Chain A
Amino acid sequence: MDEATDGLSAATLGELLEDEYARSILAETSVEPLSATELAERCDASSPTIYRRINRLQELDMLDEEQTLNPDGHHYRRFSARLERVTIELSDGGYEVSVDRTTDDAVDRFTELYEGLR
């Protein structure tokens, strides 16, 4: 009975945040956008571990991703945390989980797109 308004259950959330790497990825990417390679360095984990956590976090819509162009012309992805606040409310015999995420509004998107065009 812990089905959430957000589609996220208290169990899923607990499981996610219990994971040391998932927590570090969120913490690091809340400061600045980072690539998977940078994350592997900062979290002191292997690439596969980092990618697994990134996929999981993206499934739960906790990470944003942006394409960046290298000077050598290659694209690479950088991630930033969307998670801002989690509220777990116990009422009527059940848990209600709600997640506040950073909003990527039209102004952000417009600016980002225009930077991409220039």
Chain B
Amino acid sequence: MTAPELSVEGGSVVAVAVGFLLALGTIALSSWIVLVAYRGYRKSSERSILFLAVGIGLTATVPTVARIVVPTVGASALLSTAVAVAVQFSGLIWILYAVYGRPEDGGYRAVATAAVGSLFVLLAPLAAVERGIGESAAMTGVSAVTAVVGGFVAIQAYRGYRRYDRRPMLLLAVGVGLLTVGSFGTLTAVDLLGSTSDAVALGSVWSIELLGLLSILRSLTTDRSG
């Protein structure tokens, strides 16, 4: 990982270059995943698969890109994290609904639940900060909830791998795990260590998320016998 160099070179040309590369990689991988997932849906044109595809898109690609793009346009770190977590939360609900619900019979309820849930996840930290609760504490709260849901989805995918020996399910589990639990864990660890710079924090989270995206992309594109 690039983190040690970053802490030495914090704010230097190297840090900027690494950050830029990570950002580019994230955007490229995300677009690729969305494309592959969309093609997968078009091939089957089943409603549940549409829900799964949208869920994976919202869980994996949108939040990672949001984490990069939203701060760039000058929004606060709190807002960008809140948006990323809220979108990810709604994505996880789409996935869970595809698996547990019956998207064949409509699915407006799931869309509504996802919308209400993510609105709550978005507004909760902002409201908490208004009331004087620390910014990081508020964000940690909602991120933890999302990480728990993401961990659950990852475990279900892992069980699918164990039961059917399907490698793609393992890669999906790793990807979803890294993007939810992994990124939350990294943020928390960086927070606890305290002394590190923002560049290191961002760098490590971006790296973890990039790995997560890579894993999901592999799982979507690896051939059927894999």
Interface residues of A (CB under 8 A from B): 67, 69, 106-111, 113-118
Inter-chain CA distance A35–B44, complex, in Å, is 18
Point out the residues of chain B lying under 8 angstroms from A113, CB to CB. Answer: 48-49, 52, 98-99
Point out the residues of chain B lying under 8 angstroms from A67, CB to CB. Answer: 44, 46
Inter-chain CA distance A116–B41, complex, in Å, is 8
Tally inter-chain residue pairs, CB-CB below 8 A. Answer: 58
Q: Is the CB of B156 within 8 A of A116?
A: no
Point out the residues of chain A lying under 8 angstroms from B48, CB to CB. Answer: 113, 116
Point out the residues of chain A lying under 8 angstroms from B93, CB to CB. Answer: none
Point out the residues of chain A lying under 8 angstroms from B221, CB to CB. Answer: 118
Most chain A Cβ neighbours within 10 Å, of B40, B99, B169, B220: B99
Q: Is the CB of A106 within 8 A of B100?
A: yes
Given contacts A116-B46, A117-B49, contact A110 B99 (CB under 8 A): yes
Inter-chain CA distance A114–B170, complex, in Å, is 12
Residues 155-176 (chain B) with a chain A CB within 8 angstroms: 156-157, 159-160, 163-164, 166, 168-169, 172
Cβ of A52 to closest chain B Cβ, rounded Å: 25
Interface residues on B, range: 20 to 34
Interface residues of B (CB under 8 A from A): 37, 40-41, 43-44, 46, 48-49, 52-53, 56, 98-100, 156-157, 159-160, 163-164, 166, 168-169, 172, 219-221, 224
Listed A/B pairs (28) with beta-carbon separation below 8 Å: A67-B44, A67-B46, A106-B99, A106-B100, A107-B160, A110-B99, A110-B156, A110-B157, A110-B160, A110-B169, A113-B48, A114-B52, A114-B160, A114-B169, A115-B166, A115-B168, A116-B40, A116-B44, A117-B37, A117-B41, A117-B44, A117-B56, A117-B220, A118-B40, A118-B168, A118-B219, A118-B220, A118-B224
Point out the residues of chain A lying under 8 angstroms from B40, CB to CB. Answer: 116-118
Inter-chain CA distance A110–B97, complex, in Å, is 10
